[in-house]
Amino acid sequence: MEGQDEVSAREQHFHSQVRESTICFLLFAVLYIVSYFIITRYKRKSDEQEDEDAVVNRISLFLSTFTLAVSAGAVLLLPFSIISNEILLSFPHSYYIQWLNGSLIHGLWNLASLFSNLCLFVLMPFAFFFLESEGFAGLKKGIRARILETLVMLILLALLIFGIVWVASALIDNDAASMESLYDLWEFYLPYLYSCISLMGCLLLLLCTPVGLSRMFTVMGQLLVKPTILEDLDEQIYIITLEEEALQRRLIGVSSSVEYNVMELEKELENVKILKTKLERRKKASAWERNLVYPAVMVLLLIETSISVLLVACNILCLLVDETAMPKGTRGPGIGNASLSAFGFVGAALEIILIFYLMASSVVGFYSLRVFGDFIPKKDDTTMTKIIGNCVSILVLSSALPVMSRTLGLHKLHLSHTSGDAGTNKPSANGHQKAL
């Protein structure tokens, strides 16, 4: 009987691993397809030549798509964990959600951390150096020469990063045990390095999120159709049409030798056409879209911003008054054991909305900063270098999102240890979970 029970347990464990692997593959496949369509929408079409550079661009495109899919997974994983916890609490014995368990959630977090490290330190540097490489002088030009140059650059970059982190560790904690721990590449060094990246991401989120919260109203105002109050759209369209025709006549009459005037007129004509398109869109919009959608969205943004600021202020006051409220790396109640919100499913839904709003605000704030203004992708006119930079930036922001939202008190999810780490004194290799 004991032998049969052991075989049954092993079969159950095998089927569970197969089921979890299948679910992870299907989820990632969906994210990869969506990411591919997003990148190809912005990728410059002139880059699609049929030569050696086309192969390089195609490889860089696949690596960038993989990174963007990992970023999307890192953003969606925290809301998925919160909603899974509430579902398990609501239907603890349901047959149809047996696949949704703590092992699957922890496995997804481990994969997210592994792929985030892989993209940050291997795939994206490889894609950038591979895109910029030409091959060493004296070697035959081709893909192999470019791969060789890329690998050499990656090795030099790894040595540089290893040295910087080693020096930083020596300055922060000059202890023999801590220095020896860096020799353990997998258990200590990579989580430490990823924690440094998460810290940079948190600082970037702290910088971008306030800017994004203030810019969200402006961005949504540009995307939505504003109400028509004391405005005559027909008259405005008529005036802008006359202005467009006048500029076109001036362009025909200007001599081609006056290059500066031609470029200035073409730019002015393009701005006029954009303004005319916006006015025509406002005219074609329905009364519901003009008078209901815009005010509703603005009120919703105001409510979300107010709730976010209120929760963060309450969490800061709790941290100042109650020392036990400080987020620690201790084991939490686990998935499916206790609700993460005092309001149950409604509170969890509110937390998810605020997490998505925080991420959207941080992305808007990131592109609103003057330093990163050139990173804004343009439809059908974004080079692969800019796409790689955007993917890395979004990956850093998404990697810091769980840490940032936990610190600000937007959720109370504890994932400090995986099931494989239970009972051991080693820290988890998962950078997300270590920070949480």
Among 414, 358, 432, 430, which Cα is nearest to 205's?
Answer: 358
CB 78 within 8 A of CB 411: yes
Q: Taking the model in full, what pTM does it have?
A: 0.78
What amino acid is encoded at 320 in this protein?
Answer: L
Confidence at residue 297, expressed as pLDDT on a 0 to 100 scale: 85
Confidence at residue 66, expressed as pLDDT on a 0 to 100 scale: 94
Confidence at residue 246, expressed as pLDDT on a 0 to 100 scale: 80
- CA-CA distance, 391 to 69, in Å (whole number)? 9
**Rounded (10°) CA dihedral 360, 363, 369, 375:** -140
CB 392 within 8 A of CB 120: yes
Residue with the two structure tokens 């329905």: 286
Confidence at residue 427, expressed as pLDDT on a 0 to 100 scale: 38
Confidence at residue 68, expressed as pLDDT on a 0 to 100 scale: 93
Please list the alpha-helical segments (H only) found in 254-340: 259-284, 287-288, 294-321
Among 428, 408, 426, 409, which Cα is nearest to 418's?
Answer: 428
- CA-CA distance, 151 to 134, in Å (whole number)? 13
Q: How far is CA 398 from the centre of its chain?
A: 4
pLDDT tens, the chain, 436 aa long: 555 666 577 777 777 788 888 888 999 999 999 999 999 988 887 645 557 778 888 888 999 999 999 999 988 988 888 888 888 887 777 777 777 877 888 888 888 888 888 888 888 988 888 888 877 777 777 788 888 888 988 888 888 877 777 777 667 666 665 555 555 555 666 666 767 777 788 888 888 888 888 888 888 877 777 776 666 677 777 788 877 778 777 777 665 555 556 777 777 777 787 777 777 777 777 777 777 787 888 888 888 888 888 888 887 787 777 655 555 544 555 666 666 666 677 778 888 888 888 888 888 888 888 888 778 888 888 888 899 989 998 998 888 888 777 777 676 666 544 333 433 334 333 433 343 3
